[in-house]
Amino acid sequence: MENLNIKWHTIPIEKVAEHLKVDIQNGLSDEDVKKRLDQYGKNLITTKKQQSSLVRFLLQFHQPLIYILLAATLITILLGEYTDASVIFAVVLINSFIGYYQETKALKAIDALSKSMSTTATVIRNGKQSDIDSVGLVPGDLVVLRAGNKIPADLRLITVKDMQVDESALTGESVATEKNTRPADESTMIGDRQNMGFAATIVTYGSAKGTVVTTGDHTEVGKINTSIATASELDTPLTLKIKKFSHMLLWVILVFALLILGIAYLRGESLADAFMVAVALMVGAIPEGLPAAVTIMLAIGVGKMAKRKAIIRKLVAVETLGSTDIICSDKTGTLTENQMTVQKIMAGGELFDVTGMGYKPQGKVLFKGEKVLLNEKPALLSMLRGGVLCNNSRIIEREGRWKAEGDPTEAALISVAEKAGIQKDYIDRYFPRLDEIPFQSEYQYMATLHKADKDIVFLKGSLEAVLASSDFMMNEQGEVNPIEKSAIQKCAEEMATEGLRVLAFAMKEYDFSKKELNHGDVAKGMVFTGLQGMIDPPREEAIKAVELCQQASIQIKMITGDNALTAANIATHLGIKGKMENGKLKALTGLELKRFSESELQEIADEVSVFARVSPDQKLRLVKSMQANGKVVAMTGDGVNDGPALKQANIGIAMGISGTEVAIDAADMVLTDDNFASIEAAVEEGRGVLDNLTKFIVWTLPTNLGEALVILASISLATQLPLAPVQILWINMTTAICLGLMLAFEPKEPGIMDRPPIPSGKPLLTFPVIMRTLLVGTLIMLTSFLLFRFELAKGASLAQAQTVTTTVFIVLEAFYLFNCRSLRRSIKEIGWFSNKWVYYGVFAMLILQLLFIHAPFMNALFHSAPIGLHSWLRILAAGLGLFIIVYIEKTIRKQMTGTEEF
């Protein structure tokens, strides 16, 4: 395994062969392959063993409050109360099934990585070329690569012919990487190692031969697999709060249960009766309906988000979105169009602006704000014509969206020409192509020869290459003059400082007797026609979305594979806020990040908003640093390289169109349109869902407190139990579904994106929540206990009195539900009928309660009995009284504190 620590990109080809003990002409022998296969193993990603379905189901019972209910079930069985035991255990099973159903399938990211490396490879062994399953590759194997091949392992390239590789899945870089064989510096980042071929990337152009240096888990994509496997799964803010609340409630219930048993023992009461009282307390204090209601409310949120182009893979992601402090976003295709667009032109010494975004050929070429007429601008006409003719791509419209077939840069040249009035199909017929010099990395240009009155050659490429070939330049009248290279270079530099990618153009009229084109024909005497500056522009809707997020105190961080200058300029156009340096938005590169310690990186991650040329492990470090600052982090990604960071983030967001299988499987949410604006929309929906969950918790906790207090009151006063355990379960489960769940349909409140995220450290039981719970819980306890005693005093049976108590709880909860429809505004402000589902829920609860009271089978199951009209009137009056008291409390609190915040 000594080869694993070698920096292969730094070593000359001959040293590579020496280290790997391979003949770079004939490759390895069969004997060498067998030995190395034994030594290094197969070229496979190690898969992680997942939990079985049974284990995942049993883990649903591994919760403190479920333990209490299971204990209550066991006690009631021992006491011979089999009906009560069955009902309690049924509630446990329902919650467990719902939890199991909503639990996400085990991550498939590592399996996807294995699939991404499973392919065939063309190798040279024993001096012969053959195709083999890439699983059998070993270090030292010679691999032949051609356009369209997926690279099967990490290779050090030993011969290259004009090869370009799409490494976006690994590096995030949107432009294909040109490859060569020259050694690089040790500090060179992965995306800049031009002498390496990496597993799971795609050859888009040219050919090469390379020798395998690492396989399986030791490849760069294999290291990402390890990162995904070790990235920790984080609890969401709400689940953490509920977990802490559950542990606290567990100890409170146990203490009170022991206290009840102690009191009963001292009074000489029946131990069996004391145990039933303890069971009633256990059942009453636990909000059994909370897990089911939370799950269903999150599922409703999932449906709302799907309508806004965000598919949720993990239910808890809905709630996490509402608490998000930071969104780390890729640039290409998410914040930008992922469609190169020409924005500035220099032709004949004049500067032109171009309107319109993306490949869609709608827009104008402007000179000093006015639309250009091409017949008045011969230099511009010549340059745009050259951009279309010296071109092997095309743009097409599919399903209402314009797409490039071929190189994105060439597609941009066609689009801008069509905006100016030059049609590619027409001009191709008018100037038929005779010959071509394809783009080659060593020359940095492409040239084409076309038939006309005089044969014309068009040249496009890098500024350096085109200027080297040009001796003349065309002025604004179309006249040919000696070239002024310094003025051209200055213009190009100004374009580059705006983050534009600059292409240069030239042409020459000449009679070619052979009708063939070679490099010597374009080496000199060319007439420079101009420059085109292009960029992958920001999405218009992303600019608005960034503004809304920052208005909501959510930080936006751009993490991209592009260069720092381009990234900073795009971030500035988007309006992203961050640390400034020399009047410009500061951008840090992956190379600079290497120098920071963990504590320094925490500070940097908080201040800086743009990170460029970062590696997968650096993305992971950045996410962890932000989380170490106590932030809830959302991370977007589409490539294999994004997998670890997506899994580590509190919420991982994958791109549905451009995303790799690895990214999608590691994510919590998938955007169907790859648009940052959809993230903002999902955050808005998440905040709405989180608001409604908070309303549900504020609504349900007083019920459990009231049930516990009424049991304690009966013990203290040595009276009969006002509620049986099964009646408590009836109250908790039916009201949670029929009443509390209706809060999920509350519309988002105005200004939801004007307030900061809820701090992740904010406890579930804040002071206002505690005070409201004590007030309402006490009122429910007093009302129910007094009416229970009143019914008994009037001669009602125990079953009738307990039925009245049960109905008191349900009716008071229904009235209190209207108080909880908004925690910030009164019922008048939000409108009595803005949520019709509340009325449907109250009606459904009324029907169920009438069945509970009057249906014989319900009477047998829940120990209930019919009650009279006067009992109903007293109960309804109590419900109205509770509503008025809470309404007054909300008004007083708002006047005293200036807010209704919880």
Catalytic residue annotation: 330
CB atoms within 10 A of CB 283: 32
**465 CB-side CA count, 13 A:** 19
How many residues appear in the chain? 902
d(CA 77, CA 92): 15
Based on its alpha-carbon atoms, the radius of gyration of the chain, rounded to whole angstroms, reads 35
Residue showing tokens 């070229």: 43
Do the Cβ atoms of 638 and 658 come closer than 8 Å? yes
Give the C-alpha separation, 9 to 177, whole Å: 15
Long-range contacts of 762-765 (CB under 8 A, 24+ apart): 763/241, 763/244, 764/241, 764/242, 764/244, 764/245, 764/697, 765/245
Percent helix, percent strand, percent coil in the chain, to nearest 5: 50, 20, 30
DSSP secondary structure code for residue 362 in this structure: -
CA nearest neighbour of 622 among 636, 639, 638, 605: 605
CA–CA gap between residue 197 and residue 178 (Å, rounded): 11
Please tell me the distance from the alpha carbon of residue 605 to that of residue 593, in angstroms, as a whole number. Answer: 10
Burial tier of 627 (Cβ tally within 10 Å: 0-12, 13-18, 19+): buried
Q: If you search the block for the tokens 């799964």, which residue do you land on?
A: 233
| 730-763 CB burial, b ≥16 within 10 A, e <16 | bbbbbbbbbbbbbbbbbeebeebbeeebbebeee
The upper half-sphere exposure of residue 438, i.e. CA atoms within 13 Å in the direction of its Cβ, equals 10
Task: Tell me how far apart the alpha carbons of residues 663 and 225 are, in angstroms, rounded to a whole number.
Answer: 12
Q: Which amino acid is at 386?
A: G
Phi and psi at residue 660, to the nearest 5°? -80, 165
Q: What is the C-alpha to C-alpha distance for residues 476 and 377, in angstroms, rounded to an integer?
A: 6
Dist CA 645 CA 301 (whole Å):
25
